[in-house]
Amino acid sequence: MLSRSHPRSPRTGRPRSAAADEAILEATRASLVDLGWSKLTMGDVATRAGVAKTTLYRRWAGKNELVVDAVAVLFDELELPDLGSLSADVQAVVLQFAALLERPETRTALMAVVAESTRDEALRTRIRDSIVDRQKRLVLQGRRRAQERGELPVEPDEGAASTTADLIFDVIAGAVVHRVLVSAESVDADWARRFTVLLLAGLGAAAST
């Protein structure tokens, strides 16, 4: 499901090792959990991954880029199931998303890069490109299925359709992230059901205006 990392532009020479990439990204997440953002270093990641530090710098310019890609890989695990209705699909992906956020490596890494991005515009842009925009595929896929089933109307205006997709993503991501990471509350099947009812009611109202 898309590439598992987004390093700098490719270089000529010896081919990259997918196993090394995976080891590096896993080591990055482990370092964040153990050390936190401020103490994480490229050297520590290299040691944990069993590679030379120069190997990291051939792939990533620095810690910011490396950590974002380590987080992005986790979010690429999300899949939108086809359960026959928009309601069932949304509830399933909400539960899947919440379970991902509850993993220590996801929670620590995501909160670290978001906090650091408040004072780093380039990092904020990388988060948007590597995580946010990539995961909007789930909204686009779900909406397309719902339109094919007749559950949602097709928006002929591309600009309006794009705005709606952004809003749906913001509402789902914002609600689940706030519930799990800010309020520290669980997202169970009942919460996912009630949230989905509220979301779909809003979509229905928006379509009628």
Neighbours of 64 (CB within 10 A): 18
> Above pLDDT 90, what percent of the chain?
77
What is the overall mean pLDDT for the chain? 89
Helices 63-75 & 18-35 angle (0-180, nearest 10): 100
User: How many CA atoms lie less than 13 Å away from 13 in the CB half-sphere?
Assistant: 8
Using the predicted structure, report yes or no on whether residue 12 has a pLDDT greater than 60.
Answer: no
**Where do we find the tokens 């904020």?**
124
pLDDT reported for residue 1: 39
pLDDT reported for residue 124: 93
pLDDT category, 205, cuts 50, 70, 90? low
The Cα–Cα gap between 207 and 154 comes to 9
Using the predicted structure, report yes or no on whether residue 99 has a pLDDT greater than 60.
Answer: yes
pLDDT mean over 117-130: 93
Using the predicted structure, report yes or no on whether residue 17 has a pLDDT greater than 90.
Answer: no
What's the pLDDT tens digit per position in 186-202?
999 999 999 999 999 98
Using the predicted structure, report yes or no on whether residue 176 has a pLDDT greater than 50.
Answer: yes
The Cα–Cα gap between 133 and 180 comes to 21
Amino acid, single-letter form, for residue 167: L
Pick the more confident residue, 207 or 186: 186
pLDDT category, 2, cuts 50, 70, 90? very low
Q: Are 4 and 73 in contact (CB under 8 A)?
A: yes
pLDDT reported for residue 206: 61
Q: What is the pTM of this model?
A: 0.83
